[in-house]
Amino acid sequence: MSIRLEKLLPPFNFRIDDPAVGGRGYLDLFINDVLQPVFDEACSEARRWIDQQDIDTANSQTVDAILRDLGNPFRIAFGLPLNRRRLLARVLLEVYKTKGTSGGMEDVIFALTEITATVVFPATISAFILDEDELADTPTVPPPVPDENLTSFGFLGVSPGFNSYSFQIEVPQVLTDEERAIITEIVLLMKPAHTHFVGFIEPTVGLVVDHWELGLSFLTETGAPLLGDEADIHEP
């Protein structure tokens, strides 16, 4: 709805400009034919600017500008789809308030990746713990990066203080390298400064056997040959 400028002026101005009383009659023309179109265009531009600043209707460039104005710390955000960037722009101020909390990390991971993650605190580190374990103790869970030359899973771990402030991120799926890099960046930005992120807990992927195994398979079994119509035979 347009605002009429003539309604904003006192009626007295138009009365004294009436040619019937000695006026020249220019005021009405000046207001309606000169000022009113310029004022209408300025109002339309202002309304368009408001729409452009609305996160739900803004274009991609404007959403990126809003994120920069809000001090977005996540570099990976600018490579996300537009709907994910809009979501981040809406919640970024709340993200700042939850920085340093488990809930904040989980919420940001879901907002940027749609992966439901859980912070596991303290982390489960299978190793010899300084000042606690003895040489007779051997952890039964392999270390995060196993060494092929090791005959057992025992290795020197971290101090109790480090372990007390360590945490892991548990996810319900096997992550890709890109997803792992994105979540790592989020965690390092959101975690408390005195804590240590030591890794992910992902589901274990079972071994898919697509060949015959000596002592286990039968000739009547038909699998998925690896090369052409031939089936490979491997020792178990």
In this structure, what DSSP letter does residue 54 have?
-
Mind listing the pLDDT tens digit for each residue in 140-155? Answer: 444 444 444 444 445 5
* Model confidence, pTM: 0.56
CB neighbour list of residue 195: distance below 8 Å, 6 or more residues apart: 121, 165, 166, 167
User: Domain boundary at 28, 52, 76, which?
Assistant: 52
**Does the pLDDT value for residue 77 go beyond 90?**
no
The secondary element (H helix, E strand) that includes residue 64 is helix 60-69
Number of helices and strands in the chain (H, E): 8, 5
State the residue range of the domain holding 29.
Answer: 5-52
Quick one: pLDDT at residue 28?
79
Extract the tokens encoding 47.
């309304």
Q: Is residue 233 situated within a structural domain?
A: yes
Mean pLDDT comparison of 48-52, 136-140, 201-205, highest-scoring range: 201-205
What is the number of domains present in the chain? 2
The secondary element (H helix, E strand) that includes residue 124 is none
Give phi and psi for 48, each to the nearest 5: -65, -40
User: Considering only CA atoms, which of 170, 182, 160, 163 is closest in space to residue 120?
Assistant: 170
Q: Is residue 145 situated within a structural domain?
A: no
Q: Is residue 131 situated within a structural domain?
A: no
Q: Is residue 76 situated within a structural domain?
A: no
Structure-model confidence comparison of residues 1 and 195, the more confident one: 195
* Cα separation, 190 vs 102, whole angstroms: 9
Residue 222: pLDDT band (50, 70, 90) is: low
Residue 59: pLDDT band (50, 70, 90) is: confident
* Cα separation, 141 vs 130, whole angstroms: 17
Q: Is residue 98 situated within a structural domain?
A: no
Mind listing the pLDDT tens digit for each residue in 225-235? Answer: 444 444 555 55
Q: Is residue 178 situated within a structural domain?
A: no
How high is the mean pLDDT of the chain? 77
The answer to whether 169 touches 201, Cβ cutoff 8 Å, is yes
Q: Is residue 160 situated within a structural domain?
A: no
Quick one: pLDDT at residue 210?
61
CB-based burial of residue 83 (10 Å sphere; 0-12 exposed, 13-18 middle, 19+ buried)? Answer: exposed
Q: Is residue 59 situated within a structural domain?
A: no
